[in-house]
Amino acid sequence: MLGTVISSLIAKVTSFLDLCLAVVSQMMTLYRTIIAVGIDRMTLIAQYIKSQYVALKLSIEHLVAQLTNQVLSMKLGLMIARHNLGIRGQQLLTTVHQILQRVLNLLKRGR
């Protein structure tokens, strides 16, 4: 009777041990799958962030180039405007000087 109980107990322990090993094996497989999927997901996220960063950087560089060109155009426009104003100003000074000379001549004549 004791031998039957002991062999039954050994069979139950062995069966429980096999069940535990199977569950542990399933858990390890699931764990590896979760880690692999997580690593793949993180890799995809990192690649997406990198692509967005590259696109943003290129966009900013393009914008800086456009703004640089606009600033250079504005500087050139200001230089041309200053040059034209300088010429007009010189013409006005000459005209004013000529008018003053005529007025002085007329004053000297007594008119």
* pLDDT for 6: 82
Q: How far is CA 35 from CA 32, 40, 42, 48, in A?
A: 5, 9, 10, 20
Q: What is the pLDDT of residues 1-39, one digit of tens each?
A: 777 878 888 888 888 888 989 999 999 998 888 898 989
Residue 94: pLDDT band with limits 50, 70, 90: confident
Q: Which residue has the higher pLDDT, 88 or 110?
A: 88
The predicted model scores a pTM of 0.49
Residue 49: pLDDT band with limits 50, 70, 90: very high
